[in-house]
């Protein structure tokens, strides 16, 4: 975290990304000494005083009302997911020195039963930091067939989806539009970091990705938020070829437990046919049954 806090950092970066011409402010050809809007310009658009906004951006005021936050969201041209993220940053709890390490995430028997029930559809269960907690046979084959199928069962070997997207060559090649997938991963991580600002495991993951991937570091510094609960991706699978799938993320109503990610294709489309090949290729093979009348005789 920067010295002024997450809310202050977010406001400063997003203000710098908004140009005067984007909102119809005349510049009269002047040379501007700061990127994007000035503080007083953004304050004017939000209908608040410039000194008060300056205190917010410098981390000197932590009690912004919901009305002020909504006004700032409108001035910054934030979408709904970004507006919710702004509110989460403003109400982020102070660090509790006595806070314990986050509890280990696990998959409930009910969720495992659900995975088994949708065996014909690739599915993955992700923890809140993107750790793969479980996958069915088809989900493993579609997203990470180059890894051991039992990897999610061992916390020490458990893959992380953000790590795969940025640090794994197989996963990078899997997505035809890799930058779009990468931005979605970063945007979702930003949302998680806003909700859980003092999660040490999340901080460690972000630190690792920042150190090992210049692309991640650049996207993370951009402060873009993207809640990708439903997204279409063209995938270039090494076993079945090219197909387009819809990845849907299904969360519990509380929004804090593991999420189920399923991949489907439009019924009747070439991609649906291609995906069915993966389902057949990964189906467990039954042992051949002896034909009637050919059972071995006992002496």
Tell me which residue has tokens 């649906």: 272
Residues in CB range of 160: below 8 A, 6 or more apart: 129, 130, 131, 132, 205
SS3 207: helix
- Per-residue pLDDT, averaged over 47-58, amounts to 89
Secondary structure string (H, E, C) spanning 6-75: HHHHHHHHHHHCCCHHHHCCCCCCCCCCCCCCCHHHHHHHHCCCHHHHHHHHCCCCCCCCHHHHHHHHHH
| Residue ranges of domains in the chain | 6-90, 109-282
Q: How far apart are CA 168 and CA 27, in angstroms?
A: 46
Q: What are phi and psi of 229, to 5 degrees?
A: -80, -25
214: tokens are: 């210049």
157-177 pLDDT, tens digit per residue, is 999 999 999 999 999 999 999
Phi, psi of 124 (to 5 degrees): -135, 140
Least confident of 22-36, 102-116, 180-194, 206-220: 22-36
Checking if the pLDDT of 132 tops 60, the result is yes
The arithmetic mean of pLDDT across residues 78-102, rounded, is 73
Q: How far apart are CA 120 and CA 108, in angstroms?
A: 20
Residue, of 12 and 96, whose pLDDT is higher: 12
**pTM recorded for the entire structure:** 0.79
Which H or E run includes 87? helix 80-90
Assign domain 6-90 to a CATH class: mainly alpha
Q: Beta partners for 203?
A: none
CATH topology of domain 109-282: Beta-Lactamase (3.30.450)
């Amino acid at each position: 975290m920067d010295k002024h806090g997450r809310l202050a950092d977010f406001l400063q970066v997003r203000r710098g990304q908004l140009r005067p011409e984007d909102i119809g402010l005349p510049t009269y050809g002047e040379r501007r000494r700061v990127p994007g809007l000035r503080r007083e310009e953004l304050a004017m658009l939000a209908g608040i005083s410039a000194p008060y906004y300056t205190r917010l951006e410098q981390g000197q005021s932590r009690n912004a009302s919901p009305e002020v936050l909504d006004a700032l969201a409108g001035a910054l041209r934030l979408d709904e997911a970004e507006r919710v993220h702004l509110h989460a940053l403003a109400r982020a709890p102070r660090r509790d020195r006595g806070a314990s390490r986050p509890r280990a995430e696990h998959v409930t028997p009910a969720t495992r039963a659900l995975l088994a029930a949708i065996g014909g559809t690739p599915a993955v269960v992700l923890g809140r930091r993107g750790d793969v907690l479980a996958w069915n046979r088809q989900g493993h084959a579609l997203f990470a067939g180059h890894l051991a199928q039992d990897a999610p069962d061992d916390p020490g070997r458990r893959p992380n989806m953000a790590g795969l997207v940025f640090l794994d060559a197989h996963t990078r090649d899997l997505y035809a539009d890799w930058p779009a997938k990468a931005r979605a991963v970063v945007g979702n991580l930003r949302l998680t970091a806003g909700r859980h600002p003092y999660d040490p495991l999340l901080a460690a993951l972000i630190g690792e990705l920042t150190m090992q991937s210049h692309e991640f570091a650049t996207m993370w510094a951009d402060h873009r938020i993207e809640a990708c609960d439903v997204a279409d991706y063209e995938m270039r699978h090494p076993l079945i070829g090219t197909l387009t799938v819809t990845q849907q993320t299904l969360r519990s109503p509380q929004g804090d437990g593991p999420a189920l990610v399923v991949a489907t294709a439009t019924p009747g489309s070439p991609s649906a046919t291609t995906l069915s090949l993966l389902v057949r290729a990964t189906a467990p093979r039954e042992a051949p049954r002896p034909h009637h009348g050919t059972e071995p005789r006992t002496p």
